[in-house]
């Protein structure tokens, strides 16, 4: 006890002193760093420039990087407090190996020896494909590129996927089918230039708040938001389309129907640059406004109004996020969005684009360089020329490149249940919170012979199950690049040393390769991430995602730049794909796709009368391994809640703040705080997915898109009851 | 080619552009010119722009180096309408830099100043003694007590940044430009400050807030706060619970002793007087434990011109002095006691009155009534006579009936106050009554029962002995319980909070 403080002689005035600093202005003295390190935010894919303030080797402050083109001097609340994620209580600090049932600290040498030995033994016994790898969208591009080679060529398994399949896979699949390649065509600038903006299942205000600046700056827009919930973003809209859950595909088809029927299409563009119009026109006959009104619950007038606004727009923009992707019809819905853009020619021009707003800070990097759902550089597994080209660059035998994609994320989990996957390496993702229907996942993981979890944090629900925990350096402790939603490559810099024995994922991958004996072959003379980046530039050269003109030197000079950037191209231009109407298909024409609507798989019943929707809150990131370490974010959003319409609650005798259980056929979430609100429609309930303590994925459905393999997180049937209720 | 139906053609002629309001050039976020005479700075909050991202809260905490539990800027939620025509808006509030700052008016140590040039309400952590009276006075819950430091803190509009031509932290952090600093003409604002009011904000009448709020044009009429069902008991302030009841006991006892002495009881009263003096001493000592910085308790005399807390300290100190003199004169059987006793009584009465006035603040509706004075006087009337009777044994029967009258008036006060609260249209009052009839029900019923039994029944059936000792002990405990309930059942005015946050309690 400090007696001076008890008496009041001391009021901690030094601790709370202020100071004037040239760079920060007048501010709390303890928040004034020795120097600032510019980097890119490590949360979402908006890709904001950020500076980390460093004092005595510790990160003590975050602020927007004023010169960065994306965020215009602003950050969201997570970015503004991001430095708290580094010196956090629950960081993974040492390699931990399970011995006698307990995780005990071991040396890196022992950890990697055991890991490689166990993986090799498993593969020797059950085949190369019995090793699965689940990666992430959180690493730097250089690490994704390195890891892809290590898994596919080093370990020789193609059962490798990322948590991006839980997130953006439907956009990827949709783009590939419609345009012949992945790659979001537009740019953020379009949000400011479009005169009609349609957002489908996208709650930017909570999930990408910094993009709202672009909307705010666009004073001539009509903003239309399709969302069954009156989200923050829906409230910003000029027209909100409160459609029934997962009826978006019918709405999009209905819009296309009206566009064609009233000749609001761009016939010239269709004739020159697309294929399949005649079939689509016939197919859309069935999507009359009458029928679409019935499916969506919208009025015919609203459907007409939306179609006419988009059709008559000078530059129409359609943005979407998880409301579209998290669906068994995710890919089809993306195709329907692309159809609208192609029918009207709203693509490849300023303001005009179909545009997926990505989730994780570097989901784009793994899509381009990661070697999971495609070969690096948007190359295709089943394309012999692509394989040959890559093999030549790498100097390896063509036969070592898989000719088809391995299992996707959910299929790896189901293969673990079926004991076909026997060892698993999970990197920077936390499926014990994020995977739908946790029971199946727990079953699968319990079948494994060996589970390695490589993460920046420990304990997490996933590291707690691991046989081996590898402590990774996180954002702020390592170098590389992130690529954001608008294909902008932005430098990630190291501000502080990794804590304790944590190592960058890049170093871990090289060390594993060393143990495996393939380091020299796969990574000849590599020492730094820049070596990886430079090889990736060569690999991407001439591809749609061309990085060849981007170097660390150029990024230092020009800041973040957009791909494609061939050598010698102007780094400062705003880049849009398909401006010339040439697509990545064999005939260069984009494909108009006939995509039929169907109801979501698990319809409400008498026993499970509510449709459960899931989503985010602005204060938290994904499974909260990072943001639970940030006191101010925990203060602002301390726990999960369940939104329910008051009219439904009346029937159940429930009140706001009641503790309720959410029950589906698959499980139960216990003790969620009820929030009664008219934001949510009668018959629907909503719950955020960040909270391990009350994990909504105990009840969500493990139903997946047949093409993208993305889960249908957004709709399942539940009931809501008081804890302990007997049914 | 199909032609468009008439309705849709008409729609097209009113296409995109007419659906959105085209506004003029965005205004700068901090004033472009210097203040002139009769002007001050103020916040402007544009509810139509705020998306509830809470960047301002995080930036404010970082700017001021505050721990997460303290938020000088807070973001609340208000909601209205029916699905799908539901609306939720956010309310980001720092300090309102009021024209009549209730924090400043109440402060006993003059830690608050209203800057003569900028109008910013400033608080000095070095002057502050941590009495937390300002946290009761502000209707917006702006001043917040930092227990780690032992002092209060609040938003100062980052005026040091403004002086340097830089925007305050909240202003510069807002991605939507929803917060700005602007210049207001004080005299004009005093005439018409309607736009300081908004759903989710307490009335600007309490202190004439200067914050201008731009509301959405189509705000639905039932738009209101979302945190109404989360009412938690307030902080009990234990040192004050003990201090208030003991001073009231002491004042009541000295009044009885003075009267008995005047009526000729004389020297036999010494023990009771010394004991009562002891109570006064203990209570004054205990009251300093409530301070964040007890060593500076003496500073509380500085604010006599404005602060009831200063006046309480003065009058109770005078009471303690006079009571010491009176007790000493009783002991030594000196003459002239009548006058000193009268002084003691007057100072004590004034002290209890000042104590009560401290709590009669608009920001705490359950305290903001004559019931507070009645409650404090009743305690004195019940406990003082009962104590004297217990110590002295044989006293005239009016002493006993005085105690019974005190208990009865306390009972009536409590019941009427509860009825008044429960029938009120004011949310905070109704919430107080719900606390008393809800989670505090057992304590409230016990409190009333103790009053009836220890204050009325027992004094009626016995005049001395163990029953009176029991009655006094129970009555004292009952008043302590009552004062505990007084503190915990008050629901203060505040800005609307967010639904899940734990920030309803400011102090």
Average pLDDT over chain B, rounded to an integer: 91
Q: What's the confidence (pLDDT) of residue B339?
A: 94
Q: Which of A357, A391, A406 is the last residue of a domain?
A: A357
Of B267-276, B290-299, B348-357, the poorest mean pLDDT is in B267-276
Distance CA B299, CA B101 (A): 20
- ipTM confidence: 0.95
* Residues A334 and A266 placed together within one structural domain of the fold: yes
* CB atoms B55 and A76 under 8 Å: yes
* CB atoms A12 and B160 under 8 Å: no
pLDDT tens for each residue of B152-192:
999 999 999 999 999 999 999 999 999 999 999 999 999 99
Distance CA B406, CA B400 (A): 10
* Residues A174 and A121 placed together within one structural domain of the fold: no
Distance CA B378, CA B385 (A): 11
Does residue A560 fall inside a structural domain? Answer: no
* Residues B407 and B322 placed together within one structural domain of the fold: yes
* Residues A372 and A489 placed together within one structural domain of the fold: yes
* Residues B198 and B310 placed together within one structural domain of the fold: no
How many domains does chain A contain in total? Answer: 4
Host domain of residue A147: 96-167+362-547
Q: Are strands A316-320 and A353-356 parallel, antiparallel or unpaired?
A: parallel
Q: What is the CATH number of the domain that holds B164?
A: 3.30.70.20
- Whether the predicted pLDDT of B14 surpasses 60: no
pLDDT tens for each residue of B200-248:
999 999 999 999 999 998 888 899 998 887 788 999 999 999 999 999 9
Helix extents (H) in B212-334: 238-262, 270-289, 308-332
How many domains does chain B contain in total? Answer: 2
Q: What's the confidence (pLDDT) of residue B420?
A: 97
Q: Which residues of A touch B295 (CB under 8 A)?
A: 7-9
* Residues B401 and B471 placed together within one structural domain of the fold: yes
* Residues B254 and B217 placed together within one structural domain of the fold: no
pLDDT tens for each residue of B261-274:
998 876 678 888 89
Distance CA B117, CA B186 (A): 12
* Residues B325 and B180 placed together within one structural domain of the fold: no
- Whether the predicted pLDDT of A464 surpasses 80: yes
B425: tokens are: 């249209």
Q: Which of A31, A58, A85 is the last residue of a domain?
A: A85
Q: Three-class SS of residue A19?
A: strand
* Residues A133 and A245 placed together within one structural domain of the fold: no
Does residue B440 fall inside a structural domain? Answer: yes
Q: Crossing angle for the helix pair A505-516 and A141-149, nearest 10 degrees?
A: 20
Cα maximum dimension of chain A: 85
Distance CA A652, CA A668 (A): 18
Q: What are the CA-CA distances from residue A279 to residues A284, A591, A595, B410 (Å)?
A: 9, 11, 11, 86
Does residue B495 fall inside a structural domain? Answer: no
Q: What is the CATH number of the domain that holds A649?
A: 2.40.40.20
Does residue B14 fall inside a structural domain? Answer: no
pLDDT tens for each residue of B382-437:
999 999 999 988 888 899 999 999 999 999 999 999 999 999 999 999 999 999 99
pLDDT tens for each residue of A123-134:
999 999 999 999
* Residues A231 and A334 placed together within one structural domain of the fold: yes
Q: What's the confidence (pLDDT) of residue B22?
A: 43
Distance CA A711, CA A707 (A): 11
Distance CA A138, CA A648 (A): 39
Q: Which of B172, B198, B225 is the last residue of a domain?
A: B225
Q: What is the CATH number of the domain that holds B249?
A: 1.20.1630.10
Taking alpha carbons only, the member of A425, A431, A427 closest to residue A448 is A425
* Residues A190 and A306 placed together within one structural domain of the fold: yes
Host domain of residue B426: 238-488
Which parts of A369-484 are beta strand (E)?
423-427, 450-455, 468-471, 480-483
* Residues B369 and B473 placed together within one structural domain of the fold: yes
Q: What's the confidence (pLDDT) of residue B500?
A: 81
DSSP 8-state symbol, A267: H
* Residues B89 and B145 placed together within one structural domain of the fold: yes
The pTM for the full model equals: 0.94
Does residue B333 fall inside a structural domain? Answer: yes
Count the residues in chain B: 507
CB-nearest to A76 from B11, B53, B65 is B53
Q: What's the confidence (pLDDT) of residue B267?
A: 61
Reported as type and span, the H/E element at residue A144 is helix A141-149
Q: Which of A547, A579, A602 is the last residue of a domain?
A: A547
Q: Which residues of A touch B128 (CB under 8 A)?
A: 11
* B147: nearest CA partner in chain A: A11
Distance CA B197, CA B16 (A): 33
CA distance, residue B143 to nearest chain A CA (Å): 16
- Whether the predicted pLDDT of B3 surpasses 50: no
- Whether the predicted pLDDT of A146 surpasses 70: yes
Does residue A322 fall inside a structural domain? Answer: yes
CB-nearest to B125 from A7, A13, A301 is A13
- Whether the predicted pLDDT of A467 surpasses 90: yes
Please report which confidence band the pLDDT of residue B20 belongs to, taking 50, 70 and 90 as the band edges.
very low
* Residues B140 and B210 placed together within one structural domain of the fold: yes
Are A318 and A349 spatial neighbours (Cβ–Cβ below 8 Å)? no
Q: Which residues of A touch B145 (CB under 8 A)?
A: none
Q: What average pLDDT does this structure show over A720-726?
A: 80
* Residues A155 and A194 placed together within one structural domain of the fold: no
- Return all residues near A99 (Cβ < 8 A) that are at least 6 apart: none
Q: Is the dihedral of CA A291, A295, A297, A302 positive or negative?
A: negative
Please identify which residue in the block is written with the tokens 């009771």: B272
* Residues A426 and A367 placed together within one structural domain of the fold: yes
Q: Are strands A222-226 and A196-200 parallel, antiparallel or unpaired?
A: parallel
Does residue B18 fall inside a structural domain? Answer: no
* Residues A459 and A537 placed together within one structural domain of the fold: yes
CB-nearest to B499 from A239, A309, A641 is A641
* CB atoms B54 and A618 under 8 Å: yes
Count the residues in chain A: 727
DSSP class per residue in A584-607: SSTTSPEEP--------SS---SS
Taking alpha carbons only, the member of A177, A174, A172 closest to residue A590 is A177
- Whether the predicted pLDDT of A584 surpasses 60: yes
Q: What's the confidence (pLDDT) of residue A1?
A: 63
Say if residue A282 is exposed, middle or buried (CB neighbours under 10 Å; 0-12, 13-18, 19+): exposed
CA distance, residue A5 to nearest chain B CA (Å): 8
Q: What average pLDDT does this structure show over A598-622?
A: 97
Q: What's the confidence (pLDDT) of residue A574?
A: 85
Q: Taking the CB of residue B255, how many other CB atoms lie within 10 A of it? A: 23
Please report which confidence band the pLDDT of residue B15 belongs to, taking 50, 70 and 90 as the band edges.
very low
Does residue B7 fall inside a structural domain? Answer: no
Q: Which of B170, B194, B225 is the last residue of a domain?
A: B225
Say if residue B13 is exposed, middle or buried (CB neighbours under 10 Å; 0-12, 13-18, 19+): exposed
* Residues B296 and B211 placed together within one structural domain of the fold: no
Of A29-38, A259-268, A635-644, B259-268, the poorest mean pLDDT is in B259-268
Which residues pair with residue A490 across a beta bridge?
A482
- Return all residues near A605 (Cβ < 8 A) that are at least 6 apart: A717
B479: tokens are: 């008043």
pLDDT tens for each residue of B33-77:
999 999 999 999 999 999 999 999 999 999 999 999 999 999 999
Average pLDDT over chain A, rounded to an integer: 96
Q: What's the confidence (pLDDT) of residue B462?
A: 80
Question: How many Å separate Cα A139 from the centre of its chain?
Answer: 12
* Residues B415 and B448 placed together within one structural domain of the fold: yes
Please report which confidence band the pLDDT of residue B81 belongs to, taking 50, 70 and 90 as the band edges.
very high
Half-sphere exposure of A371 (CA within 13 A, CB side): 27
DSSP 8-state symbol, A99: E
Please report which confidence band the pLDDT of residue B21 belongs to, taking 50, 70 and 90 as the band edges.
very low
* Residues A229 and A157 placed together within one structural domain of the fold: no
Burial A37-50 (b: 16+ CB within 10 A, else e): bbbbbbbbbbbbbb
Distance CA B189, CA B180 (A): 17
Does residue A705 fall inside a structural domain? Answer: yes
DSSP class per residue in A639-704: S-EEEE-HHHHHHHT--TT-EEEEE-SS-EEEEEEEEE-TTS-TTEEEEES--STT-GGGTS---B
Q: Taking the CB of residue B469, how many other CB atoms lie within 10 A of it? A: 15
* Residues A249 and A398 placed together within one structural domain of the fold: no
What percentage of chain A exceeds 70 in pLDDT? 99
- Whether the predicted pLDDT of A707 surpasses 80: yes
Q: What's the confidence (pLDDT) of residue B504?
A: 37
* Residues B371 and B243 placed together within one structural domain of the fold: yes
CA distance, residue B487 to nearest chain A CA (Å): 24
* Residues B204 and B292 placed together within one structural domain of the fold: no
Start-to-end Cα distance in chain B:
71
* Residues A161 and A181 placed together within one structural domain of the fold: no
Q: What's the confidence (pLDDT) of residue B25?
A: 57
* B218: nearest CA partner in chain A: A235
Q: Taking the CB of residue B463, how many other CB atoms lie within 10 A of it? A: 15
Q: What's the confidence (pLDDT) of residue B7?
A: 36
Best mutation target among A16, A233, A284 (most B Cβ atoms within 10 Å) is A16
CB-nearest to B54 from A235, A263, A619 is A619
* CB atoms B65 and A30 under 8 Å: yes
């Amino acid at each position: 006890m400090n007696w001076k403080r008890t008496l009041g002689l001391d009021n901690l005035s030094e601790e709370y002193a202020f100071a004037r600093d040239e760079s920060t202005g007048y501010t709390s003295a303890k928040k004034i760093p020795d120097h600032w390190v510019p980097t890119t935010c490590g949360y979402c894919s908006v890709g904001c420039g950020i500076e980390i303030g460093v004092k005595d080797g510790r990160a003590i402050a975050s602020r927007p990087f004023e010169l960065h083109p994306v965020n215009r001097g602003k950050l969201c609340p997570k970015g503004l407090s991001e430095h708290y994620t580094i010196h956090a209580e629950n960081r993974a600090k040492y390699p931990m190996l399970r011995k006698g049932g307990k995780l005990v600290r071991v040396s890196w040498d022992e950890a990697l020896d055991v890991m490689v030995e166990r993986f090799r033994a498993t593969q020797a016994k059950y085949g190369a494909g019995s090793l699965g790898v689940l990666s992430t969208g959180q690493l730097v591009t250089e690490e994704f590129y390195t890891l892809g080679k290590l898994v596919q060529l080093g370990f020789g398994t193609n059962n490798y996927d990322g948590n991006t399949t839980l997130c953006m896979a439907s956009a990827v699949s949709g783009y590939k089918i419609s345009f012949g390649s992945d790659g979001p065509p537009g740019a953020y600038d379009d949000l400011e230039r479009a005169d009609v903006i349609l957002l489908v299942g996208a709650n930017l205000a909570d999930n990408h708040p910094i993009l709202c600046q672009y909307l705010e700056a666009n004073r001539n827009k009509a903003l239309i938001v399709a969302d069954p919930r009156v989200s923050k973003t829906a409230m910003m809209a000029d027209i909100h389309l409160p459609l029934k859950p997962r009826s978006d595909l019918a709405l999009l088809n209905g819009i296309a129907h009206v566009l064609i029927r009233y000749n609001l299409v761009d016939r010239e563009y269709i004739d020159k640059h697309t294929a399949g119009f005649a079939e689509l026109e016939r197919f859309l006959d069935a999507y009359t406004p009458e029928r679409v009104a019935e499916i969506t619950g919208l009025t015919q007038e609203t459907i007409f109004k939306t179609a006419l606004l988009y059709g008559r727009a000078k530059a129409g923009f359609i943005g979407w996020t998880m409301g579209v992707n998290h669906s068994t019809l995710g890919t089809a819905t993306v195709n329907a969005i692309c159809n609208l853009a192609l029918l009207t020619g709203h693509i490849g021009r300023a303001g005009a684009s179909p545009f997926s707003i990505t989730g994780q800070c570097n989901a784009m990097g793994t899509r381009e360089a990661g070697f999971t759902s495609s070969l690096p550089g948007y190359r295709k597994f089943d394309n012999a020329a692509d394989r040959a080209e890559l093999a030549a660059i790498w100097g390896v035998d063509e036969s070592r490149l898989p000719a088809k994609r391995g299992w996707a994320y959910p299929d790896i989990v189901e293969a673990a249940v079926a004991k076909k996957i026997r060892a698993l390496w999970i990197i920077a993702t936390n499926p014990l919170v994020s995977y739908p229907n946790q029971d199946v996942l727990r079953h699968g993981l319990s079948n494994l012979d060996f589970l390695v979890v490589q993460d920046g944090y420990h304990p997490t629900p996933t590291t707690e199950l691991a046989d081996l925990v590898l402590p990774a350096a996180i954002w702020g402790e390592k170098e590389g690049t992130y690529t954001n939603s608008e294909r902008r490559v932005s430098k990630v810099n190291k501000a502080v040393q990794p804590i304790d024995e944590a190592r960058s994922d890049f170093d871990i991958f090289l060390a594993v390769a060393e143990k495996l004996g393939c380091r020299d072959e796969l990574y000849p003379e590599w020492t730094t991430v820049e070596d990886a980046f430079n090889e990736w530039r060569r690999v991407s050269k001439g591809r749609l995602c061309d990085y060849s003109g981007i170097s660390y030197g150029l990024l230092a000079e020009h800041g973040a730049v957009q791909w494609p950037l061939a050598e010698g191209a102007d780094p400062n231009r705003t880049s849009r794909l398909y401006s010339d109407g040439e697509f990545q298909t064999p005939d260069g024409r984009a494909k108009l796709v006939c995509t039929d609507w169907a109801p979501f798989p698990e319809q409400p019943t008498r026993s499970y009368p509510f449709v459960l929707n899931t989503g985010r809150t602005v204060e938290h990131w994904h499974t909260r391994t990072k943001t639970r370490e940030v006191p101010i974010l925990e203060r602002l959003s301390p726990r999960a809640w369940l939104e329910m319409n008051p009219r439904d609650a009346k029937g159940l005798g429930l009140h706001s703040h009641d503790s309720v259980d959410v029950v589906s056929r698959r499980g139960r979430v216990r003790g969620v705080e009820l929030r009664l609100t008219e934001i949510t429609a009668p018959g629907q309930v909503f719950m955020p997915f960040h909270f391990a303590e009350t994990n909504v994925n105990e009840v969500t459905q493990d139903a997946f898109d047949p093409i993208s393999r993305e889960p249908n997180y957004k709709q399942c049937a539940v009931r809501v009851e008081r804890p302990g209720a007997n049914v | 080619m199909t032609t468009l139906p008439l309705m849709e053609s008409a729609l097209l002629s009113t296409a995109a552009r007419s659906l959105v309001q085209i506004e003029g050039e965005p205004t700068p976020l901090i004033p472009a010119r210097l203040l002139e005479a009769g002007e001050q700075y103020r916040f402007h909050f544009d509810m139509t722009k705020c998306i509830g991202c809470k960047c301002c809260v995080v930036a404010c905490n970082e700017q001021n180096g505050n721990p997460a539990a303290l938020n000088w800027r807070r973001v609340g939620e208000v909601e209205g309408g029916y699905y799908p025509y539901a609306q939720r808006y956010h309310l980001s509030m720092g300090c309102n830099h009021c024209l009549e700052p209730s924090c400043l008016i109440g402060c006993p140590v003059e830690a608050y100043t209203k800057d003569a040039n900028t109008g910013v309400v400033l608080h000095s952590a070095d002057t502050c003694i941590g009495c937390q009276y300002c946290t009761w006075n502000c209707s917006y819950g702006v001043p917040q007590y930092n227990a780690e430091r032992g002092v209060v803190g609040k938003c100062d509009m980052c005026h040091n940044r403004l002086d340097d031509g830089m925007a305050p932290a909240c202003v510069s952090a807002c991605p939507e430009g929803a917060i700005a600093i602007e210049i207001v003409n004080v005299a004009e604002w005093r005439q018409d400050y309607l736009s300081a009011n908004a759903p989710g904000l307490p009335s600007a009448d309490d202190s004439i807030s200067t914050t201008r709020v731009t509301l959405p044009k189509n705000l639905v009429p039932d738009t209101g706060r979302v945190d109404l069902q989360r009412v938690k008991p307030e902080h009990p302030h234990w040192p004050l619970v003990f201090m208030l009841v003991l001073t009231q006991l002491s004042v009541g006892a000295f009044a009885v002793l003075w009267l008995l002495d005047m009526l000729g009881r004389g020297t036999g009263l010494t023990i009771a007087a010394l004991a009562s003096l002891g109570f006064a001493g203990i209570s004054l000592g205990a009251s300093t434990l409530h301070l964040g910085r007890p060593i500076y308790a003496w500073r509380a005399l500085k604010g006599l011109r404005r602060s009831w807390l200063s006046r309480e300290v003065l009058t109770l100190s005078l009471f303690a002095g006079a009571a010491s003199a009176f007790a000493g004169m009783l002991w030594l059987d000196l003459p002239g006691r009548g006058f000193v006793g009268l002084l003691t009584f007057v100072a004590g009465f004034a002290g209890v009155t000042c104590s009560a006035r401290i709590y009669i603040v608009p920001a705490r509706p359950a305290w903001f009534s004559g019931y507070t004075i009645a409650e404090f006087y009743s305690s004195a009337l019940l406990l003082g006579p009962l104590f004297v009777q217990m110590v002295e044994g044989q006293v005239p029967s009016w002493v006993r009936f005085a105690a019974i009258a005190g208990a009865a008036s306390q009972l009536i006060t409590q019941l009427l106050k509860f009825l008044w609260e429960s029938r009120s249209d004011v949310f905070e009052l109704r919430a107080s009554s719900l606390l008393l009839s809800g989670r505090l029900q057992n304590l409230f019923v016990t409190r009333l029962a103790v009053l009836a039994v220890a204050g009325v029944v027992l004094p009626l059936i016995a005049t001395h002995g163990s029953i009176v000792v029991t009655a006094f002990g129970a009555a004292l405990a009952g008043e302590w319980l009552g004062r505990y309930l007084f503190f915990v059942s008050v629901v203060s005015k505040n800005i609307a909070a967010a639904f899940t946050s734990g920030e309803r309690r400011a102090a």
